Structure 1
């Protein structure tokens, strides 16, 4: 090639390759999914090879794309680091912290209040995320992710092992003395978790009860817990998320372990500001 491809094309490729989603890359870069797709196609025409295999609802990298991605990613990291070294960062820049709404409410809120009282001079910007594609190294200094911790280029601290258990309103709990009593009630499902109601019912020895229950599915745990607190059914949730809840009770002591967990995470190769380092250490120290 006589010259490098345009930066916008390379940006689109790096973001789409990292997230394996043109839609997520569009959200990250502030453009449409169609714009990302077009930039990638133009880049593929320039280099003369396909970089992605396009499936009906997903993407995978071709061998050429996999081989090229580390070089492109490292180039953007070096540009970012070089910019910080030359121009620095302004003290007005807030520390951006990204997490799901449910972990914000149940685990993060009281820790942020304590941090702010101790360090009111540090500005924090809290950003919500629900789906895995909402996460990524760009735009956030610190994240609280959920998963198995199988991310590259990320420094991680686990919040601890996770166990899931059913929770519901106190009134509904009074009608449940054994797992078999779930029959005829509504099970509230939150999508996106490796362990769900089938796993818990199997652990409780009542797998057959699921066929006798009603079902209501939400795309986040905030809503399932809200419905459960108002008598709308029984939600399966993480024991950790019950730290600050007084409106929900666990009718049974049976829990099911999960190989997924919550993680404090931050990019391992990004320049860390003093303020972001302070927030990171505070949160690490608050893990119980």
Structure 2
């Protein structure tokens, strides 16, 4: 239909192809397929020009009206004229809750004209430059095609509710507790327990495994067990405390990321600079 609208408006398959970024032959093929499906000819092909058939002329206003209404509906739902001033920021839910949520309100107060759209990514495959102006990723920073700035060195330490923390004075006190595991991190409970001098203690603990850190931290805050937590994310929480001081460094870090080959628009650049100031 898009091919028909462009060709009918310009009365040229070549001009329509240039407008839509395809070849003249591709437009001709699409029109032919459309005519076959409708069972009606839409164009009269002259040696050096095109003209619409009566059916084509009658149908064109309906198609154009449909595209107008589609554009209006898209503007209403996704922001319309504000879309150019909106910044899409993609990161994991745990970063959204623990790092972004305490900070973004200040950015909005200082920049009320800029809309921020925050979208979630849980697994490494969820990330990519398409559709996001800025990302906060977790890993070793080994991504191609992006500019990546580390948020700083990271370490893992136990976290639990203040009530449960009163019963944990030494690493041995973890025996019999529920250890909450979040998959996908280089440093897990076996590594931490080994560094704490109690290797294999997890065999004397109950275990619960979740596919994201948001859930392990939610369970820990409700005295449902002890989670391993990034030191950075513990700073803004008052429902979780570190019962033991040992921090195990991780080769993985949080990174501020944006596409390297795409020039950021003004609003995205402003949010990027503001986030860097938060480091």
Task: Tell whether the structures are fold-level matches, with TM greater than 0.5.
Answer: yes
Deviation at 1:108? 1.0
Structure 1 segments of 4+ aligned residues over 4 angstroms from their partners: none
Q: Which residue of 1 aligns with 2:196?
A: 204
Mapped partners of 1:178, 1:272: distance in 2: 49
Q: Deviations over 1:41-79 (max 9, x none)?
A: xxxxxxxxxxxxxxxxxxxxxxxxxxxxxxxxxxxxxxx
**Which residue number corresponds to residue 130 of structure 2?**
138
Q: Which residue does 1:237 correspond to in 2?
A: 229
Confirm or deny: 8 A CA contact 2:190 2:200 kept in the other structure.
no
Structure 1 residue 109, shift from structure 2 partner: 1.3
Aligned to 1:156, the other structure's residue is in SS state strand
1:280 aligns with 2:275: no
Number of aligned pairs? 200
Q: What CA deviation, in whole Å up to 9, does each residue of 1:203-228 have, x standing for no partner?
A: 10001211101110001111000000
- Higher Cα radius of gyration: 2
Match of 2:260 among 253, 268, 272: 268
| Displacement after TM superposition at 1:91 (Å) | 4.9
Please give the secondary structure, in 2, of the residue aligned with 1:92. helix
Is the aligned partner of 1:253 residue 2:245?
A: yes
3-state SS, counterpart of residue 112 of structure 2: coil
| 2: CA distance, partners of 1:174 / 1:272 | 49
Q: Cα deviation per residue 1:183-240 (whole Å; 9 max; x = unaligned)?
A: 1111000001011001100110001211101110001111000000101000001000
Give CA-to-partner distance per residue, 1:149-183, whole Å, 9 cap, x none: 00011101111100100011111111111100111
C-alpha deviation, 1:271, in angstroms: 2.2
* SS of match in other structure, 1:205: coil
- 2:118 maps to which residue? 126
**Any unmatched runs of 5+ in structure 2?**
1-20, 22-79
- Tell me whether 1:223 sits opposite 2:250 in the alignment: no
Match of residue 195 from structure 1: 187
Q: Could you tell me which residue of structure 2 aligns to residue 35 of structure 1? A: none
Alpha-carbon distance between aligned partners in 2 of 1:92 and 1:187, rounded to the nearest angstrom: 44
CA distance in 2, matches of 1:226, 1:178: 23
Per mean C-alpha deviation after superposition, the further-off stretch among 230-239 and 105-114 is 105-114
Q: What SS does structure 2 have at the residue aligned with 1:265?
A: strand
Tell me the distance in 1 between the aligned counterparts of 2:162 and 2:101: 24
Partner of residue 182 from structure 1, selected from 167, 174, 183: 174
Aligned partners of 1:99 and 1:277: how far apart in 2? 17
Partner secondary structure for residue 207 of structure 1: coil
1:10-89 paired onto structure 2 within 5 Å = none
Structure 1 position 90, deviation (Å): 5.9
Distance across 2 between alignment mates of 1:204 and 1:243: 22
Counterpart residue number, 1:149:
141
Any idea what SS the aligned residue of 2:101 has? helix
**2:106 match:** 114
Residue matched to 1:70:
none
CA distance in 2, matches of 1:110, 1:216: 28
Partner of 2:83: 92
- RMSD of aligned residue pairs (Cα, Å): 1.4
